[in-house]
Amino acid sequence: MRRRILAALAVVAAVAGSITPAYAAEQRVAAAVFPSPVITEDFPDPDVIQVNGTWYAYSTNNGRGHVPAASAPSPNGPWTIRGDAMPGGPSAGWAQAGRTWAPDVHPNPDGSFTLTYTAWHRTSGRQCIGVATAGSPLGPFQPVGSQPLICPLNLGGAIDANTFVAADGTRYLLWKNDGNAIGANSTLWLTRTTNNGTALTGGNTALLSSSSVIEAPDLVQRGSQFVLFYSGGGYTDCNYLTSYATAPTLSGPWTVAYRPLMTTATFDNRVCGPGGADFTNDKVFLHGWVNGSRHLYVADLGWANDYPVVRGSRVRTEAERGTLNNARVRTGAAGASGGAVAAYIDFADSWVQTSVYAPRAGSYTLWVAYANGTGSTGSHGVVVNGNSQGSVSYPVTGWDNWRQSSVGVTLTEGWNTIRLTKGNSYAEVDYLELQ
């Protein structure tokens, strides 16, 4: 989250690939709702919890202290900076102040709170994970023990702790060995803990590994699967991103998403380097760069068949995988994202239909990647859930010369059906992106 710039994420090659082809946007309708900046000062690597109706947020150390804390009546604020949740700093037994990163605060069964944090290991100079407790979410947190909780110096140290409690009540700690610091692989690990998270009770289970940056793990259990979120890329610029992997069990096998969940590109440059994310049931908190500082943002989160969807971040659906009526799939389409497109949408009863998921009801932007090789501007009618919502126009591009056009749509929360119908002239459709 907060170390040197390294090579792009390479857990799976597709994770670090280009997110959106360099299609010029022919038209823009400002309907998308992007993440809202809620703390407009340095507040990186956020961790957020809710206690008795109040929301609390914690960040990596900055001028506000070792563990800056804030509170708000709702996720969207207003947020108030409340000071340093660990004013005495990390454990004097093994750590020194100055690099206290990525705090994680979690409530305990007895009403107390446990803070896990990353700090500077005095004798080795590496980063290791410590633990502290308090009776209030705002602290003051007092370090527990004279030694770090996790400190594999032979693996580069440990960073980015995060608590996960399974549906059966078993408590675990997610963390990363900082292999990037010593030119080695990094792995996201899962370790069982006591019910207050102050001691380890089990061995380490490896989840994902990478020869480049993979960090800031967060784990969610959704229905039939586990969803492991993580950040990748260099944290110091707009290349930082958030992706995820899924598995039927905690022991895997883990399948990495074919496209990252949040990037600067999927947010149309509205958030620079969206990473360090913390996920709740229906919100995601993340940081993004603004004038040299990382501000706190919040976005709506939805679950499409237990897969995450973040409002404002483009989600792609290949047109050729939809339902076609009196139209055909054309394969071997040069330059198309999937090598195939929806084509021959040429007749009054021709259409292509697909389903998209909206985390909340409201306004969205529908982007359509198209090619128009006729001599005049084309169009398709846009029908949402059986109701007309206007049309999307396609200026002339030439065949297999793909561009994007957009139209604002209003969606209900959950699944929506979008149908593109025959309009003026002719065009082929590569994919649709909902934003």
> How large is the C-alpha radius of gyration of the chain?
23
300 is catalytic: no
Q: How many residues does the chain have?
A: 435
User: Token digits for 183?
Assistant: 């030119």
Torsion of CA 48, 306, 324, 259, to 10 degrees: 60
Distances in whole angstroms, Cα of residue 45 to Cα of each of 208, 209, 295, 351, 405: 20, 21, 10, 45, 35
**Which listed residue (160, 178, 215, 218) is catalytic?**
215
Q: What is the C-alpha to C-alpha distance for residues 198 and 104, in angstroms, rounded to an integer?
A: 12
Q: What is the C-alpha to C-alpha distance for residues 428 and 409, in angstroms, rounded to an integer?
A: 21
CB atoms within 10 A of CB 380: 26
215 is catalytic: yes
**Which listed residue (45, 178, 430, 433) is catalytic?**
45
Mind telling me the catalytic residues? 45, 215
